[in-house]
């Protein structure tokens, strides 16, 4: 049994949560926690069925948001915490590599790799999906962003964890599958685009804040001032990273992502007048 807490932030995740929990062997980790934002569907009933702890979270519109709030107010008693979304499913290869890496105990956190499913099938190409979601408890938390009065998202989405210590990589992938459909996907990215534009306007001209961004974040923020950010993403995803291998699904996925970044650009131009 790994000295690990798996924390799953949720809101109305009845279509995804059961599959996520089924992939977590209760004899594999010490604790599984659901952090719920007031779900009104069968999410809590599913959590009860799997006998996992549920913690209620109500955001006041200020820092901290859901993950940092959990780290601060319900600090895991285990050595490690893995933040897992309800549409993410642990694979056997990931669990094996995770066990081997945590046994060494020489890192403060780990970058994790994910597959992506779109229109019911796994994508072969497109930009790789990677997140710093496995953290040694006490080594850090997600970056603080002043979002009072403008953010509508109660959970850290694009915030980057700030970790003290060496960071490793787990190469084996977690399966990322979302069964809530295209409508949810599009609506979710409308919310994300609004958040991205607001954050851009707050941080881009602040040298101190901008300096704390990762190299990848800095490049993205520089591109956001150009209408070419959407086409640039499309070209990279579909051609350079092999989205063409997925045929029509790969093309549709790249177009939707291009639309997302174009929307971010338009929102920035609309607000920055």
Q: Is 29 left (phi over 0), alpha (psi -120 to 50) or beta?
A: beta
- Considering the domain architecture, whether residues 86 and 121 belong to the same structural domain is answered as yes
Domain that holds residue 37: 2-176
Residue 157 banded pLDDT, cuts 50, 70, 90? confident
The predicted model scores a pTM of 0.93
CA of 91: how far to CAs of 5, 94, 113, 263, in Å? 17, 5, 11, 34
- Considering the domain architecture, whether residues 152 and 193 belong to the same structural domain is answered as no
Residues 239-252, mean pLDDT to the nearest whole number: 98
- Considering the domain architecture, whether residues 145 and 28 belong to the same structural domain is answered as yes
Residue 228 banded pLDDT, cuts 50, 70, 90? very high
Token output for 147: 């979002």
Q: Which of 56, 229, 71 is nearest to 159 (CA)?
A: 71
**Domain count within the chain:** 2
DSSP code for 165: S
- Considering the domain architecture, whether residues 51 and 109 belong to the same structural domain is answered as yes
Percent of the chain with pLDDT over 90: 79
- Considering the domain architecture, whether residues 159 and 68 belong to the same structural domain is answered as yes
Poorest-pLDDT segment among 38-42, 58-62, 106-110: 58-62
Q: Is pLDDT of 18 > 90?
A: yes
58, with CB counted inside 10 A (0-12, 13-18, 19+), is exposed
- Considering the domain architecture, whether residues 24 and 129 belong to the same structural domain is answered as yes
- Considering the domain architecture, whether residues 164 and 226 belong to the same structural domain is answered as no
Domain termination residue (choose one: 176, 194, 227): 176
Torsion of CA 132, 134, 137, 140, to 10 degrees: 0
Domain termination residue (choose one: 176, 203, 225): 176
Question: Helix (H, G, I), strand (E, B), or coil: what is residue 157?
Answer: coil
Domain termination residue (choose one: 135, 159, 176): 176
- Considering the domain architecture, whether residues 169 and 34 belong to the same structural domain is answered as yes
- Considering the domain architecture, whether residues 113 and 74 belong to the same structural domain is answered as yes
- Considering the domain architecture, whether residues 44 and 115 belong to the same structural domain is answered as yes
* 3-state DSSP percent of the chain in helix, strand and coil, to 5: 40, 20, 35
């Amino acid at each position: 049994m790994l000295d690990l807490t798996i924390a799953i932030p949720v809101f109305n995740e009845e279509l995804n949560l059961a599959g996520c929990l089924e992939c977590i062997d209760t004899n594999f980790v010490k604790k599984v926690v659901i952090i719920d934002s007031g779900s009104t569907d069968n999410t809590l009933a599913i959590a009860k069925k799997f006998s996992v702890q549920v913690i209620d979270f109500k955001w006041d519109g200020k820092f901290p948001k859901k993950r940092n709030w959990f780290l601060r107010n319900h600090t895991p008693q285990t050595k490690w915490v893995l933040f897992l979304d309800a549409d993410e499913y642990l694979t056997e290869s990931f669990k094996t590599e995770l066990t081997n890496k945590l046994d060494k105990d020489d890192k403060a956190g780990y970058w994790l790799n994910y597959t992506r499913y779109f229109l019911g099938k796994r994508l072969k190409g497109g930009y790789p999906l990677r997140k710093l979601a496995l953290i040694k408890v006490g080594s850090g938390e997600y970056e603080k962003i002043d979002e009072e009065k403008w953010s509508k998202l109660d959970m850290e989405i694009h915030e980057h964890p700030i970790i003290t210590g060496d960071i490793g990589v787990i190469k084996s992938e977690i399966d990322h599958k979302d069964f809530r459909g295209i409508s949810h996907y599009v609506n979710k990215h409308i919310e994300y685009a609004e958040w991205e534009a607001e954050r851009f306007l707050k941080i881009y001209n602040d040298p101190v804040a901008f300096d704390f961004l990762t190299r990848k974040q800095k490049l993205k923020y520089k591109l956001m001032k150009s209408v070419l950010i959407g086409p640039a993403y499309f070209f990279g995803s579909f051609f350079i990273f092999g989205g063409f291998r997925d045929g029509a699904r790969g093309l549709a996925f790249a177009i939707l992502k291009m639309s997302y970044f174009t929307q971010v650009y338009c929102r920035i131009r609309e607000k920055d007048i």
